Amino acid sequence: MLGDEALSNLGICCPNIEHLEFDDCAFWFETLELSKFPKLKKASFNGGPQHSRLRNVNNTGTNQLESFHLCIFNTEWVINPDNTCSSNIKNLELYCSVNVPSLFEDLTTTFPLIEKASINGLDRMKASNYHLKSLDLSIVNSLKKIYVDCPNLNDFSYSGLVLEELYIDCPKLIYFRYSGCKKIPTFIYLNVPTTIQRIHFNFNVWSGINSSWFISLNKFVEMIGVHQHVYLHLDVCRLELAEFILDEFEATQIFQNNVHLDLRIIYSCNIQNPVALVDGLIWSIHPSTLSIEGGCYEFIKDLCGKLGIKKSEDESCCEQQESCSKYWWHNIKDFEVKHQDKDMKEKLISLPELYQDYPDYIPRNKSCFKFQWRSCINLIQNSLILH
Ligand SMILES: [Zn+2]
């Protein structure tokens, strides 16, 4: 238990304190004034028991701070709206609210020296910082736009719910991770190096997806599919209704995307319309590879059934065109399929049986498909923007 007086005395007795760290401490008071420590360079507050009264950490009057961490639920970081107390900060980690809502609107002016930022709960975000190397935006559930134009950024990660626009111009990026919910961004611009190993997107797909959701997914894939190494991971959970109407979707030219689709079906029993899910996903993404795990018996049964259909000679739906707008499987020139490294192409019919008795996720019960699309146009990674 820490009292305000004890901390004041500490500040008076030791005015040269540069580093303060509080882990799981209970405070007797609501507001901690960091100005008690005039030479403070590094302050860190992590966790805290439920009976702790601390609600505000006030930075007013500290102008030498280089590192600041405040990760205590229900606390607020109180900072002067002019940037005197943030101008030297290089390392910032916040899991709290902030008294100035516009603080992160432009990271460049408020944190000119920032190198590493891990922030939650912000509404708007723009960063054009030269020094910034790592940006972690976690649980930013009301954030709709992100603009990041940082020449030295190596790591970017985001997790949130409603993001609509993402602009990333970071030619030195090494690590990109995006974790969203059902909402698909409507605009995405990525200028990242071709050497990046993985561009990782993750969405949690819940109930209520229909043709318009698949149309947004298709547009999103067009925007990211020009890059190499795009991994799109979908966790499908409690999907009570999936609806896909091909006429609404208006399937047109099919391109082979570089997208690797990774699908995990959490509870198969809750998926009411696996046929719509198969058609919707394949029409929207036309992935290079597809790996499936979880409770996917119905999904795999439908997928394998369609892949096994031989196109008859008299089918005229796509004779004259480069791609078929009626049946996605007419657009597949060839495919490979493996289950746990075992070639299953000749035993396609028996593949669903491997999932029949397992409604939930089983480790290593995974099938991987590799598709070669008929009208394959090799899209070379560039900074093409598709609206
Ligand atoms: Zn056809």
Stated pTM of the model: 0.90
Tell me the CA–centroid distance for residue 284 and ligand 1, in Å: 17
Cβ-based burial of 259 (10 A; exposed 0-12, middle 13-18, buried ≥19): buried
DSSP sequence for 1-34: -B-HHHHHHHHHH-TT--EEEEES--BSSSEEEG
Asked whether the predicted pLDDT for residue 387 surpasses 80, the reply is no
What pLDDT was estimated at residue 142?
87
Percent of the chain with pLDDT over 90: 55
Residue 41, both tokens: 């360079």
pLDDT of residue 193: 93
Give the C-alpha distances (Å, rounded to integers) separating 159 from 136, 156, 298, 320, 331. Answer: 9, 10, 30, 45, 35
Q: Which residues surround ligand 1, an ion (CB under 5 A)?
A: 317-318, 324, 330
The answer on pLDDT for 174 being more than 60 is yes
Q: What pLDDT score does 251 carry?
A: 72
How far apart are the two ends of the chain, measured CA to CA in Å?
A: 56
CA–CA dist 277, 283 (Å, integer): 10
367 C-beta neighbours (distance < 10 Å), count: 23
* C-alpha 370 to ligand 1 mean position (Å): 20
**pLDDT score, position 240:** 72
State the pLDDT at residue 201.
97
The arithmetic mean of pLDDT across residues 364-372, rounded, is 92
At residue 352, the pLDDT reads 92
Q: How far is the CA of 319 from the centre of ligand 1 (A)?
A: 7
Residue 370 has pLDDT above 80, yes or no: yes
What 8-state DSSP symbol labels residue 370? E
User: Which tokens go with 267?
Assistant: 């509870």
- Asked if residue 374 has pLDDT above 90, the reply is no
Which one-letter DSSP state was computed for residue 328? G
**Number of alpha carbons in the 13 Å side-chain half-sphere of residue 233:** 14
- The pLDDT tens digits of the residues spanning 59-80 come to 988 889 999 999 998 999 999 8
HSE (CB half, 13 Å, CA atoms) of 226? Answer: 17
Q: What is the pLDDT of residue 378?
A: 45
d(CA 294, CA 271): 12
* 318 close to 328: Cβ distance less than 8 angstroms: no
Distance 381 CA to ligand 1 centre (A): 29
pLDDT confidence bin for 259, thresholds 50/70/90: very high
Rounded distance, CA 273 to CA 296, Å?
12
How many angstroms separate the alpha carbon of residue 328 from the centre of ligand 1?
8
Res 385 pLDDT > 70: no
Task: Give distance in angstroms: CA of 316 to centre of ligand 1.
Answer: 7
* Range 147-165 average pLDDT: 95
What's the pLDDT at 381?
37
Predicted pLDDT at 260: 95
When computed from its CA atoms, the radius of gyration of the chain, rounded to whole angstroms, is 26
pLDDT tens profile 191-218: 999 889 899 999 998 878 889 999 999 9
pLDDT digits over 110-148, tens only? Answer: 999 999 999 987 878 999 999 999 999 988 888 999 999
pLDDT (mean) for 216-224? 92
> Which of 109, 105, 101 has its CA nearest to residue 130?
109
Residue 3 pLDDT grade (very low, low, confident, very high; cuts 50, 70, 90): confident
| Secondary structure of residue 215 in the 3-state scheme | helix
Give 306 Cα–ligand 1 centroid separation in angstroms: 13
- What is the mean pLDDT of the segment spanning 289-308? 93
For ligand 1, the distance from its centroid to the CA atom of residue 98, given in whole angstroms, is 57
Looking at residue 380, what is its pLDDT?
38
pLDDT of residue 295: 86
Residues 370-379 have a mean pLDDT of 71
44 against 258, higher pLDDT? 44
Is the separation of the CB atoms in 151 and 168 below 8 Å?
no
Closest by Cα among 343, 341, 331 to 376 = 331
